[in-house]
Every structure is written in structure tokens, then in C-alpha cells.
A and B are shown apart, each in its own frame.
Chain A
Amino acid sequence: MDMTDMNSAAATSPAGRRQGEVILDLQNISLRFGGVKALTDISFNIREHEVRAIIGPNGAGKSSMLNVINGVYHPQEGRIFFRGEERKKMEPHMAALQGIARTFQNIALFKGMSVLDNIMTGRNLKMKCNLFQQALWLGPALREEIAHREKVEEIVDFLEIQHIRKTPVGALPYGLQKRVDLGRALAMEPQILLLDEPMAGMNVEEKQDMCRFILDISDQFGTTIVLIEHDMGVVMDISDRVVVLDYGKKIGDGTPDEVRNNQDVINAYLGSGH
């Protein structure tokens, strides 16, 4: 990635966002796939309203970390506390119920469905009508559908994708698909939003747009954001605290400035010459 951006980013200090209580606390997480140690004894926490970045070289375990947070992977050791309460069952449904949403590195949209339907699926946990009411499409089911459609339209407006709302997502260009992916996660009205390389493969304008959306989400909705990103300029610019992984181990944790000057982090990831 473009390391020269880092110097320009160094001029601005991390946004002075209000930081609340610890919302998610990960303690001594270890994850193995057979003999491969993906994560080894990693502990860090996430505070409410902050933008928390996870960085590290390829294969460091960043995406595995997100998969542990939203319950797709089951760590062999370690505990996860959400608002002080330990998570008993490690499954995606539970994480979704707690309000943890995510976007994917390789876009994982529902290709056969329109943009609206994709974002509407994000609200499935909030829709309570049963099968029979839905089959008849009368009264409660219709009212519920319309109420959620209104919420979804707010997200469509927020992400500025009104013109493609009825297009099947498979037909959309990459940058817009990323935006729809974000929209689907936002539709859950999440407490914590996990973004897995939201800016990968984007040009400068698209990156700027995406940064603006992320900061707006943080400002307007107060959503806690956990971000994996390789563009150091972006990371140092928008995040409040950064955790650095390398070979499944945590090698640094702190504000962007602390991390930038951490010798381990420089050796493992950032490289010298800055």
C-alpha cells in the first residue's frame, strides 16, 4: 500500500471523538485451525463511539479477528465480553442480536437480489410478522414492510445510492457494491460496525467518499467502528486507536502516533524510511 501517505497524515491528530465505556472486551483469544495458529493470546478492547483500526501484514489474522468478534469462528481459548456480559454461545446469530454488523473484504452481497432487497435483509431481525401474515400481505405484514422500507430509504439517501435502488447488485460496479454492503450492515442499526477493508481496490475519489461515509456514521449515529485497512494514510487519519497484529500476535496497541513510533510495528509492517 501507499506508505507515502503516512507523512501527510501525520500532520493531523486523530479526531477527538467522545469515547465511552468499553463496549467489547476480548480477553486472551486464541484460534487454531488444526496445527495453524491463526490468533495467539490476543487481548484488546473496543470503546463505545470510537473508530478502532486493526492493521497488520497479510495473513496476520485481522479478518480472523473480525470473524471471532461476530461469531463465525469459534476461538479455542479466550473470552468475549459485550457490555460487561460474557458471550456464552459463539454464533453469528447471537452477535447479530447484540448489534454487531459487518462488511466483507470480498463483497458478500446477495447477487440475485436488488439493492433495496439486500439492504432490507439487514432488517430481518427487526421484522416480527409470522409466515401466515407475510403470505397474506395484509395489515401487520404490510405495515411492517412499509415501516422498514422507510428506514431503508433513509440509508439509501445517506449512502447516495437512490438511482440504483432497484438494480440487481450483481450488475453494479465494485465501488457501488461496497457501498451497498455498507448499507446492508447499517440497516441493522448496529452498536458495533466491523469493516473489513472497506477501501480495498478503490481509487482516490472512492476512498474519499468511503471515508466520509465512515466518519458520518460515527458522527451521526455514534456507531462504534472497527476497521481493517491497509491504506495507512486513511488509518492514521480517521482512527482513534490502532491495534497491530503480526503472525497472529498483537505487537502494538495505542493511538496512531504511538503505533507509528513503535519499533516492533515499524519492523513488522510499516517499514523504515519514514
Chain B
Amino acid sequence: MFYRENGQFKTSYAADQQIFTIAQDKWFVWGLIAFAALAVPMLADEYMFRAILIPFLVLSLAALGVNLLVGYCGQITLGAGAFMAIGAYAAYNFMVRIDGMPLVLAMLLGGVSAAAFGILFGIPSLRVRGLYLAVATLAAQFLCDWAFLRIGWFTNNSSSGSVSVAKLEMLGWAIDSPTEKYLFCLAFVVVFAFIGKNLTRAAIGRQWMAIRDMDVAAEVIGIRPMFAKLSAFAVSSFFVGVAGALWGFVHLGSWEPAAFSVDRSFQLLFMVIIGGMGSIMGSFFGAAFIVILPIFLNQFLPLLGSLVGVTVSTAGISHAELIIFGSLIIFFLIVEPHGLARLWSIAKQKLRLWPFPH
């Protein structure tokens, strides 16, 4: 009734090729961004920022990067944790070794380093695909785990093996309160989400999707598989690398290689699968599902227990949390194998016709 494109006529192709072709969508997303930037800092407390919002934002950015590769270009990867690590350690080294290195530039350079490694580890994708490629990218993961643990140069010869960033500052703005850290991450995520969207709706995104859907036909119309696949690896790793730098600098502050273990790679891949492959929005849904749901269950289960008069032990809660989380994943994958993003678009489709069934 209120979500309908009636009366919104497109008179030029430029208007027809906007990101949000329906005006309500545009207002919704801009409203959401405004809410996140203006209202959330006033509403949320420190716990919310530290435990939920900042991890959610950073992991959404990483999931978005993984989605560009897995969802749009169809190249499966289990090396996302490694590229996050490369982003974080490279940014750290740029900060430590070059005097007066601006924070944002160091992070972007971290992303560029991750992109270079992404291209390197993307080379196997030219010959192998599917599960075999997943195993090949897993090599990146183990190589990085080893290198950042054993090679002292990367950690600036830190004796404990962990590295830390002294203080975050951008153009004289000290980013130290949780609210400021949150806003810093939010800015990154919004800009990168729009860049991701632009790439996927432009020529390069079509090349990626063509390679994903039918690689022989893509070659025949002149798409070079090498360029398409390696550019997807590069862009994806760049996103993931920047997310890794944010994770290390802003969220953790000090970290060791275990922060970017193979678990992280799996977590990011699950986010993409649950959120929706080939959807920018889906990356956010997936990150929200995986970051927020366990915390929500953790808070909600004792409440539910007390409601029915049962006191649940702490161990019981953490077990129940895993059980419910696992079954929800199975449930969603059975109900909608294309992820939460598909549910979202079905809901929008229904809403366009509502209150009529057809």
C-alpha cells in the first residue's frame, strides 16, 4: 500500500539505472544510514558498541568482500581470514615503519597488500574450481597463520607475538571513545558498500557474474577469465583486507595471529551463504545473523527460562545457544537456500502487491 512504485516514471536510462529504482527503497536506506549515524550514538551504550555494533560493521565489510568473490564471481574461498590478517598486519607495519603515516592511508594500503596476495592466491582459480579451489585458498590461511607467528619482522619483533596500535588519530581527531570508533567503522562500511554496489552493477560486475553463471559463453563473448577472476580476487581481498585492518586497529586494539584463524574464514563464508550469495544487502544480513544472534540468545534464554520458572545454568545456556543457532542455520538453508536476502526481496515483492494476493 505504501511500498509501491506507482506514479514513479523513469524518463531516462540514467534514472532507470540508479541503485534504488523505487523511491521508497532510497528513502529507507538513507533513513537507515542517518539513523545509524545520528540516532544510534545517542541510544547505544558502551557494551552495545564494543560487543555488537563494531564487530557487526567490520564483519559485514569483510563478508561483503567475500560475497564479491564467492557470490558474484562464483569462486569459493576459505582464505578470507588470511586476507584479513594480511590487511591488519600490513597496515600495522605501514604505521610502525613510516613516520607520520595517516591512519586511513595505512588501512587502505593494508587493503592493497591484501589485494596483491589475493591475486597471488587467486591464480589456482584459473585451473581448479569448486571444492578444490577452496582447498587451494586454505593454503593461504595456513601460510599466514604460520608467517605471522614465526616471522618476527611482521610483528616488529614483538616479544609476546601480539601487536598493538597505540592510538588512533585522523586529521587531529582522536578516535578513542566507542562512539567515535563506531562512527569511524560506519563511514568505512557505507563508502565500501556503495563501491561494492557500483562495481557489481557495472561492466566488471557483469563480467564476474558471467564467469560465475556460464564460463564458456563468457569467454566466447570476449570476457577473459583470467582478468575477471583475478580482478574479483583483488577487489574482494582489498575489501577483506581493509576490514581486517579495522578489526585489528579499531575493534581489538591489540591482537595476535589467532584473531584471524581459519575459524574466521569459515565464519565469513557462512555469513555469505546465510545472508545471500550475490547480494550486497545479504552480506549485512549474514553478518547480523552470525554476530548478533548468539548474543541475543545468550541474553534471551535466561529470560525465557525465568518466565517458565526454570533456572538455566550458564553452561546450559551456552549449550542451548549452540543448539538453537545450529538449528536456525539448518532451518534457513532449507526454507530459503538463497539466503536471507532472498527472503527480504520476496517480502518486498509481496509488499508491493499488499493487500492484494496477486
Provide the residues of chain B in CB contact with A159, threshold 8 Å.
none
Interchain CA distance A136-B209 in the complex, whole Å: 19
Contact of A129 among B203, B213, B218, B221 (CB under 8 A): B203
Q: Which residue of chain A has the shortest Cβ distance to B214 in the bound complex?
A: A108
- Segment of B79-87, B122-130, B150-158, B194-202 in the binding face: B194-202
Q: Does A102 contact B (CB under 8 A)?
A: yes
Q: How far is the CB of A66 from chain B (nearest CB, A)?
A: 10
Interchain CA distance A149-B13 in the complex, whole Å: 7
Provide the residues of chain B in CB contact with A221, threshold 8 Å.
none
Interchain CA distance A34-B195 in the complex, whole Å: 47
Interchain CA distance A185-B222 in the complex, whole Å: 11
Interchain CA distance A14-B120 in the complex, whole Å: 56
User: Contacts A141-B202, A145-B17: A121 and B223 contacting too (C-beta < 8 A)?
Assistant: yes
Contact of B278 among A95, A108, A112 (CB under 8 A): A112
Interface residues of B in 4-47 (CB under 8 A from A): 12-14, 16-17
Interchain CA distance A93-B228 in the complex, whole Å: 13
Provide the residues of chain B in CB contact with A18, threshold 8 Å.
none
Among B202, B213, B214, find the residue whose CB has the most chain A CB atoms closer than 10 A: B202
**Chain B 222-243 per-residue mask, 1 if CB under 8 angstroms from chain A, else 0:** 1110000001000100000000
Provide the residues of chain A in CB contact with B278, threshold 8 Å.
112
> Is the contact region of chain A dominated by helix, strand, or loop, or is it mixed?
helix
**Chain A 96-111 per-residue mask, 1 if CB under 8 angstroms from chain B, else 0:** 1100011010001111
Provide the residues of chain B in CB contact with A146, threshold 8 Å.
12-14, 17
User: Contacts A113-B213, A146-B17: A131 and B204 contacting too (C-beta < 8 A)?
Assistant: yes
Q: Does B179 contact A (CB under 8 A)?
A: no
Q: How far is the CB of A79 from chain B (nearest CB, A)?
A: 21
Q: Does A134 contact B (CB under 8 A)?
A: yes
Q: Are B13 and A93 in contact (CB under 8 A)?
A: no
Q: Does B113 contact A (CB under 8 A)?
A: no
Provide the residues of chain A in CB contact with B222, threshold 8 Å.
92-93, 96-97, 124-125, 188
Among B12, B195, B206, B219, find the residue whose CB has the most chain A CB atoms closer than 10 A: B206
Tier of interface size on chain B: 20 to 34
Q: How far is the CB of B114 from chain A (nearest CB, A)?
A: 16
Q: How far is the CB of A150 from chain B (nearest CB, A)?
A: 7
**Chain A 172-187 per-residue mask, 1 if CB under 8 angstroms from chain B, else 0:** 0000000000001100
Q: Does A266 contact B (CB under 8 A)?
A: no
Q: How far is the CB of B57 from chain A (nearest CB, A)?
A: 20
Provide the residues of chain A in CB contact with B216, threshold 8 Å.
72, 108
User: Contacts A131-B199, A135-B195: A109 and B217 contacting too (C-beta < 8 A)?
Assistant: yes
Contact of A117 among B13, B199, B204, B209 (CB under 8 A): B209
Q: Does B207 contact A (CB under 8 A)?
A: yes
Q: Does B335 contact A (CB under 8 A)?
A: no
Among A92, A150, A153, A185, find the residue whose CB has the most chain B CB atoms closer than 10 A: A92
Provide the residues of chain A in CB contact with B199, threshold 8 Å.
131, 134-135
Contact of B203 among A101, A109, A124, A185 (CB under 8 A): A124
A-B contact pairs, 16 of them (CB 8 A): A96-B219, A101-B220, A110-B209, A110-B213, A110-B214, A110-B217, A113-B206, A120-B206, A121-B218, A129-B202, A131-B199, A144-B203, A149-B16, A150-B13, A153-B13, A185-B221
Closest 10 CB pairs of A and B: A96-B222, A108-B217, A110-B213, A134-B202, A137-B198, A92-B219, A125-B222, A127-B203, A149-B13, A135-B195
Given A122-B221, A137-B202, 18 further pairs, Cβ under 8 A: A70-B220, A72-B216, A92-B222, A108-B214, A108-B217, A109-B214, A110-B212, A111-B213, A112-B209, A113-B206, A113-B209, A117-B209, A121-B218, A121-B221, A131-B231, A137-B198, A149-B16, A188-B221
